Amino acid sequence: LGDEAVREVVRTRDAASLRWLGLADNGLTREAVRLLAASPHLDLNHLDVRGNGFGPAELAPLHARFPNAVIEG
């Protein structure tokens, strides 16, 4: 999918209904993390970003934004 697809997902109000988002192995960058963490609409219970090369520093904003979610990275 890449960062541009993430941008499209997070900008829509329909994203508010998402509880699980699987983005494993999609060639995402730190920009995708920034977009996900800044989204006013997302209220995730589970986020899978494995296989995108993110370490603890990149995952920290996601844990802060979705403190009750399971974040796989």
Q: What is the pLDDT of residues 10-20, one digit of tens each?
A: 999 999 999 99
Residue 1's pLDDT is what? 83
Query: What are the angstrom distances between the C-alpha of 29 and each of 4, 14, 15, 16?
Result: 10, 23, 20, 23
Q: What is the pLDDT of residues 11-53, one digit of tens each?
A: 999 999 999 999 999 999 999 999 999 999 999 999 999 999 9
Residue 47's pLDDT is what? 98
Asked if residues 52 and 26 have their Cβ atoms less than 8 Å apart, the reply is yes
- Reply yes or no on whether the pLDDT at 60 is more than 90: yes
**pTM attached to this predicted model:** 0.94
